[in-house]
Structure 1
Amino acid sequence: MTGPGPAHRGGTPRDGTAARPDPAPLSRPWPPADPAAPSDPWDPARLAALYAPFPVVVAVVRVGEHHPGELPPALRLSGAADRRVAEYTAGRVAAYRALEELTGRGHWVGRAASGAPGWPPGTRGSLTHSPTAAVCVAALTDGCRARLGLDAEPLSSAPGLHRARHLIARPPELARIAAAPAGGAERAALRLFSAKEAAYKAAPAALQPRLTFRGTALAWDPAAGPTVRFHASEGLPPALRVTTVHTPGHVLSAALLPLPDRS
């Protein structure tokens, strides 16, 4: 990845307020980038398209591009390993950029009482990060009548998740994993794990504490790929949909839960 670039707009207009400058990138990344880490060029436009027809903004920030000191003191993560701090920092900068593109002014996203990101009034969104990049999807509540979920998982996690598939999948899901095309069972387990993570983030806040991997089920076509579409089967709102796609080093999952129309 050469850099985050601007956030990608899915069609929502600015609100006309003055923009606050982006946090200035450092001349040297923190911590120093790992030369062995593969580049992973996530395309914000491609990710925004996964949420169609709902208008969203997607921002991608490379891990290590911003120093944690660029965050407001109250948002800085302390007492964690450098890599965890770098991933967290990239996520907060991604959220800032997405909200700035969406509303015309930046907003630092803290944590709600539940521990989830606390989006400013009038907006909603989802955050995810990996060892290489952080991604934020955000939308205006008036223009996007859907809850959003986003997850990224490195492909290197596939073998371990396949070995642990009985902990994350119900019997019908295990059958679909086993029915994957030759050599595809490990990635099928990874896609299911990522899809459930994204589904959790898109679920209503009141439902989230009751959701577990074994207490929910998704259905999909085992022969589908590389783009796979999941729908809720058990334990999740019936309208929920999840789409997974592949980047060179990750599986990315985008979840949508349409909300009832306002009367």
Structure 2
Amino acid sequence: MSSFKTRERQQRILNLVHKGVADVEELSRQLDVSLSTIRRDLNRLATEGRLVRTYGGAAFVSHDRREQTVNERMLMQRQQKEAIAALAAQQIQEGDTLILDAGTTTAALARLLCGRGDLHVITNNIEALTILASDPDIRITLLGGDVRKLSMGSVGPLTELALARLSADKVFLGADGIVASRGLCEASSDQAYLKDKMMEQADAVFVLADSSKLGFAGQQAWTPMNRPWTLITDGDASADKLGPFQQLGNLTVLVA
């Protein structure tokens, strides 16, 4: 086969992966080529840095790795985030102790906690802090540390030290991206490691991720998801995007 046809097929693979088609067998079916051909193409594209190889398939890599500010992210997927937050709020009972991660979707959840009665919220999310401070019934524990101005969340050794002295019923995490076979991706190793520590301190783990983040591997730091957890996403998530997650044995998927 000519190199032109090979590159044309590889571009079609990139287009499909970008749309959420990440499975080798599905790519083979849609392009009508052998599994071995697809695997060779995926390996080539991964070597070129155009996608990330995952178990049984691939994930999209963004070439714009500039981390967006909180203000920018607040305007993105806003309705979806509010729907996800509403479904997440249904998982919370009065008297719960919660860990809220930094992020705009967890901040949307914080808004829904006001007026919910007796809760204890442990958070590194400065936006969530300002929202929850108005409710006299919610006890707040702020995790100190170094403030990342892009995410308006605290990170670093001091944050981890405070967290290690606490425990919670549930943790609600955000993420820049999420890949079924790799976990959550973040812009920094400090953020990725803190998510790992948050999970260790909670009985139940929830990840709040809108559909645009499913299969997205645009950042370089990762948090593996090895324990049972629940993904809460929105109704725009296609079957192709959800498929790899629904095959995980330790995951429950809730769609808002």
Q: What TM-score comes out, normalization by structure 2 length?
A: 0.29
Greater share of residues in helix: 2
Q: What TM-score comes out, normalization by structure 1 length?
A: 0.28
